[in-house]
């Protein structure tokens, strides 16, 4: 199990986020989880009309950014057909792929997850459906919930022309159907590498289920996944092995 130090973790956060977490902790102690910080409801959306061709490959990867990686990793760890999910950074350079630097908001990185999946069990398009429906709000620009900055942007880092085509077609489909109450702001960005985050960020939702941020913002997403995608939900999460 990952060893986690609250003091070490909170000291690494930017001041505004440390203060925000203290405020949320106070709110959690004084109110129920149905307080004003409650997570947004998921949106039931149609599956993509265009998806990848069935492949003989045993595994494929998808890199998605949708706000704080704790919740996004936690959601996809409960999806059948997913073999591994890593929290990390994408969009910037290797030498700035550290939490303290990324949190400054000027590295080009977004907090992201790399999903390794079996395309014979779950398609890339189905992962995108879960991404848009449950894992985050694709209409929020450079923010998710209480987190603000370009490092929390909504982005798809397509790793092939086929992934890019599926993502572009799906965004157009959802916007045309007015699936959300505002236009989708998710950007399809050039994939130039993925850099795993520090060990203490990995499996955070599962290993720290009582952490106020998780209780308020992320655990509801797992419940929404189970409700809206019951046929794809796995009760047992696929956890990442770390060195700690």
Catalytic one of 64, 68, 110, 167 = 68
**Max CA-CA distance within the chain?**
53
Annotated active-site residue 35? The verdict is no
Question: What does the angle CA 189 – CA 191 – CA 194 come to, to the nearest 5 degrees?
Answer: 120
CB-based contact 175:167 (threshold 8 Å): no
User: Comparing C-alpha atoms, which of 120, 140, 128 is closest to residue 173?
Assistant: 128
Q: Which residues are catalytic?
A: 68
């Amino acid at each position: 199990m990952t060893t986690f130090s609250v003091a070490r973790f909170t000291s690494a956060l930017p001041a505004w986020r440390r203060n925000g977490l203290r405020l949320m902790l106070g709110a959690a102690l004084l109110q129920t989880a149905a307080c004003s910080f409650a997570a947004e409801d998921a949106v039931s959306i149609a599956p993509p009309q265009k998806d990848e061709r069935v492949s003989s490959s045993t595994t494929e990867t998808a890199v998605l950014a949708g706000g704080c990686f704790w919740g996004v990793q936690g959601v996809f760890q409960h999806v059948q057909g997913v073999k591994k999910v890593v929290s990390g950074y994408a969009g910037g350079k290797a030498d700035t792929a550290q939490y303290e630097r990324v949190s400054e908001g000027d590295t080009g990185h977004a907090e992201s997850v790399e999903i390794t999946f079996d395309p014979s069990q779950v398609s890339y398009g189905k992962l995108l459906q879960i991404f848009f429906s449950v894992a985050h709000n694709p209409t929020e620009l450079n923010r998710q919930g209480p987190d603000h900055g370009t490092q929390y942007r909504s982005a798809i880092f397509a790793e092939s022309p086929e992934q890019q085509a599926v993502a572009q077609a799906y965004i157009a489909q959802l916007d045309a159907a007015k699936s959300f109450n505002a236009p989708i702001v998710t950007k399809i960005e050039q994939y130039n590498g993925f850099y795993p985050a520090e060990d203490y960020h990995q499996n955070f939702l599962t290993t720290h289920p009582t952490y106020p941020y998780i209780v308020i913002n992320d655990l509801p997403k797992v419940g929404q996944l189970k409700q809206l995608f019951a046929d794809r939900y796995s009760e047992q999460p696929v956890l990442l092995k770390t060195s700690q």
